[in-house]
Structure 1
Amino acid sequence: MIELRPFGRLGGADHGWLDAKHHFSFAGYHDPERMHWGNLRVWNDDTIAPHSGFPTHPHRDMEIVTYVREGAITHQDSLGNKGRTAAGDVQVMSAGSGIAHSEYNFESEPTRIFQIWILPTTRGGAPGWGSRPFPKGARSGRFVTLASGFDTDGDALPIRTDARVLGATLMAGETVEYTLGRERKAYLVPATGAVRIDDVRVNARDGAAISDVEILRVTALEDSELVLVDAA
């Protein structure tokens, strides 16, 4: 089953410094049919104006993955971590028993991110943060695991949940496969381009909620950059 969630029909709000679109219920946007997809709870498509951002605020018991599409985001938290994550790269924050952080765009142009929240397998635990580059060339024609709750996923950033976040870049006409399993759910968003899954066209920034699929096959209709969550 594939449910298309067109970008133009997403919830959201424009705060001036932040233009946010919500694939799932979040903040002032509430849709009882879009509370989560498996353990995937939030997928926000955020555009942050230059020299602005999210001031220090707390979280707990959530795995928060930030995929930077354009520009860069600078993170600082109550553990003393500080780092800049640039376009194409990923940062992960395990909120655990509690952490306070800020996220700012100190660049001279807008920063665009996907902010993905996944429910943890267990509550509590020590909070943590990490960031690393994932060159787009290394994802050419295949899905690469960016963040994972599985020890077998090598260099992926660790998250404390039964899920993976993956990225791929496809040239027009290329097809990529991912073994999902019928008991799991997937949520796919093209950061750029357009793809086809079965007979469903998914354009840039649309969401595709996928279930009851053993092997997911995605064909690029245009050069495309994809982000996928494999959720329990």
Structure 2
Amino acid sequence: MIEVRKFETLGAANHGWLDAHHHFSFANYYEPARMGWGAIRVWNDDIIAPQSGFPPHPHKDMEIITYVRKGAITHEDSMGNRGRTEAGDVQVMSAGTGVRHAEYNLEDEETRIFQIWIMPETVGAKPAWGARPFPKGDRSGSFVPLASGLGDTGALPIQTPAKVLGATLKAGSSTDYRFEPGRVGYLVGAEGKFRVNGTEVNARDGVAIRDVETLTIEALEDSELVLVDALK
């Protein structure tokens, strides 16, 4: 099954400093049919105004992955970590037993991010944070693990048996991705227009994938893709 969830059907909330769109139920957006997808609980498409951001707030027992699409995000947390993650790069936070963090756009331009929450395999783990650059050229033409709880070399570690992958495709090119049995996928394009197993998809649409062995993606325009592969 492949279900395209058009961007205009997503939950939305504009707070002035934050223009948020929710692929799944979140905060004041409640849609019983979109409570999550397998172990994936949240996928937020956020635009953060310059010199603003999320003040310190707590989380517990959740794997939180931030993919920066434009600008940069500056992270601070109660573990003493601080870091700045730029466009195309990724940060991860395992909330575990509990952590407070803040995410600020300290730039003079808007910052655009995908924030993805995946449920952990076990509760009460030790909190952790990490970030690293992922040059887009290194994922040209195929999916590369950006964050993984399955031991993928070079990926940021998360505490759940899932993968967050990225790919860039030139117009006219294609790539395949194979799912193991018992897993689901959720795909969003940060940029571009493409086909997924023959179905046309625009940037920022969501593609929910279940009971599909092989995903074939054909780029109709230059495209930047983010895919999560998780347990059902």
1:28 aligns to what?
28
Equivalent residue pairs, number:
231
For 2:230 and 2:172, the matched residues in 1 are separated by: 27
Instruction: Give the C-alpha shift of residue 184 in structure 1.
Output: 1.1
1:178 aligns to what?
177
How does 1:44-63 map onto structure 2 within 5 Å? 44-63=44-63
Instruction: Give the C-alpha shift of residue 98 in structure 1.
Output: 0.2
SS of match in other structure, 1:33: helix
Deviation sequence 1:28-67 (CA, Å, 0-9, x none): 0000000010000000000000000000000000000000
Instruction: Give the C-alpha shift of residue 210 in structure 1.
Output: 0.7
Q: List gaps (5 residues or longer) in structure 2.
A: none
**Amino acid in the other structure paired with 2:42:** V
Conserved 8 A contact 1:182-1:214: yes
Deviation sequence 1:174-227 (CA, Å, 0-9, x none): 111111134210000000001101221110000000111111111111100000
For 1:40 and 1:132, the matched residues in 2 are separated by: 22
**Amino acid in the other structure paired with 1:171:** K
Conserved 8 A contact 1:190-1:203: yes
For 1:61 and 1:8, the matched residues in 2 are separated by: 31
How does 1:12-23 map onto structure 2 within 5 Å? 12-23=12-23
For 1:106 and 1:121, the matched residues in 2 are separated by: 34
Deviation sequence 1:49-105 (CA, Å, 0-9, x none): 000000000000000000000000000000000000000000000000000000000
1:92 aligns to what?
92
SS of match in other structure, 2:33: coil
Runs of at least 4 residues off by over 4 Å: none
1:190 aligns to what?
189
Deviation sequence 1:149-172 (CA, Å, 0-9, x none): 012x01100001111000000001
RMSD: 0.6
For 1:221 and 1:78, the matched residues in 2 are separated by: 44
For 1:63 and 1:19, the matched residues in 2 are separated by: 23
1:154 aligns to what?
153
**Amino acid in the other structure paired with 1:176:** T
Conserved 8 A contact 2:197-2:215: no
For 2:168 and 2:131, the matched residues in 1 are separated by: 20
Conserved 8 A contact 1:181-1:215: no
**Amino acid in the other structure paired with 2:163:** R
Conserved 8 A contact 1:182-1:211: no
Conserved 8 A contact 1:181-1:212: no
Conserved 8 A contact 2:66-2:116: yes
Conserved 8 A contact 1:90-1:132: yes
For 1:76 and 1:216, the matched residues in 2 are separated by: 37
1:199 aligns to what?
198
Q: List gaps (5 residues or longer) in structure 1.
A: none
1:168 aligns to what?
167
**Amino acid in the other structure paired with 2:176:** E
Percent identity (aligned): 67
For 1:16 and 1:22, the matched residues in 2 are separated by: 16
**Amino acid in the other structure paired with 1:79:** M
For 1:94 and 1:58, the matched residues in 2 are separated by: 12
For 2:160 and 2:132, the matched residues in 1 are separated by: 19
For 1:160 and 1:63, the matched residues in 2 are separated by: 7
TM-score of the superposed pair, with normalisation by structure 1: 0.98
For 1:70 and 1:150, the matched residues in 2 are separated by: 28
Conserved 8 A contact 1:163-1:231: yes
**Amino acid in the other structure paired with 1:188:** L
For 1:39 and 1:202, the matched residues in 2 are separated by: 23
